[in-house]
Amino acid sequence: MSPAIGATFTDDSGRAEGGDLVTEKEVIVIFVLGGPGSGKGTQCGHIVQHFGFTHLSAGDLLRAEINSGSENGTMIQNMIKEGKIVPSEVTVKLLQRAMKESGNHKFLIDGFPRNEENRAAFEEVTKIVPEFILFFDCAEEEMERRLLSRNEGRVDDNIETIRKRFKVFLESSMKVVEYYESKGKVHKVDAGKPISDVFDAVKQIFSPFGEVN
């Protein structure tokens, strides 16, 4: 049996439990939050290149689950079309599996937790406490412009669903940001600037990890 994701991971030798050859590494999780279109995925791509994290986008994992023909596919598809948040049980399982499969111990978890239920479920199941929260702050008009020109063929990048997503973001997701703000864990970045300027600010925040590239 592979170990549950808890505070540590074992190495990929397969000698997961009990063996004295196991190298335990501390699991580092950073939650990347921000409104739809604030640039989470774009910036995570750059962080991966420079700092050696594994990027796990909850939205991407849910879309992959739809495409895999899973029994939850139709439910997930309907929720995404409506901009609603998929039950945490589903999303946490996908994240846990992806973390185990990655072989890495440093993760950027993008677009999660989206509400208090997401946050509590992840904490309960994994016992992982995030290192910090990277929060991309961007005006709605700018996010709307970006989403309408994203052109990835997403069922939720239309003005009707975008408005619903903004509402969910303000009503549910910001509560999570506020929760972590009260714990002094939020690094807020002005995400309304050009991509390279945003990354300059992100780089400063990640500098304690040391650049790998």
- Applying CB under 6 A, which residues contact ligand C5P? 36, 57-59, 62, 79-80, 83-86, 91, 111-112, 114, 118, 156, 165
**CB-wise, 11 or 60, nearer to ligand C5P?**
60
- Backbone phi and psi for residue 118, each to the nearest 5 degrees, phi listed first: -55, -50
Please report whether residue 83 would count as binding ligand ADP according to CB under 6 A.
no
Range 139-168, binding ligand ADP (CB under 6 A): 146, 150
Give CA separation, 115 vs 168, 188, 207, in Å. 9, 18, 29
Range 3-42, binding ligand ADP (CB under 6 A): 34, 36-42
Closest approach, Cβ 103 to ligand ADP, in A, equals 24
Piece of 10-18, 87-95, 123-131, 193-201 that binds ligand ADP (CB under 6 A)? 193-201
Q: Out of ligand ADP, Mg ion, ligand C5P, none, which partner does residue 62 contact, by CB within 5 to 8 A per kind?
A: ligand C5P
Please report whether residue 113 would count as binding ligand ADP according to CB under 6 A.
no
Q: Angle, to 10 degrees, between the axis of helix 174-182 and the axis of helix 116-126?
A: 60
| CA gap 109, 53 in Å, rounded | 10
Residue 36: partners with Cβ closer than 8 Å, 6 or more residues away: 143, 147, 162, 165, 166, 169
Closest approach, Cβ 160 to ligand C5P, in A, equals 13
Please report whether residue 41 would count as binding Mg ion according to CB under 5 A.
yes
**CB-wise, 61 or 198, nearer to ligand C5P?**
61
According to DSSP, residue 209 is labeled G
Q: Are 110 and 53 in contact (CB under 8 A)?
A: no
State the virtual CA torsion across 120, 126, 131, 136 in degrees, nearest 10.
-50
Stated as kind and residue range, the H or E segment containing 98 is helix 88-102
Under rule CB under 6 A, how many of the chain's residues touch ligand ADP? 13
Residues forming contacts to ligand ADP in the complex (CB under 6 A) are: 34, 36-42, 146, 150, 194-195, 198
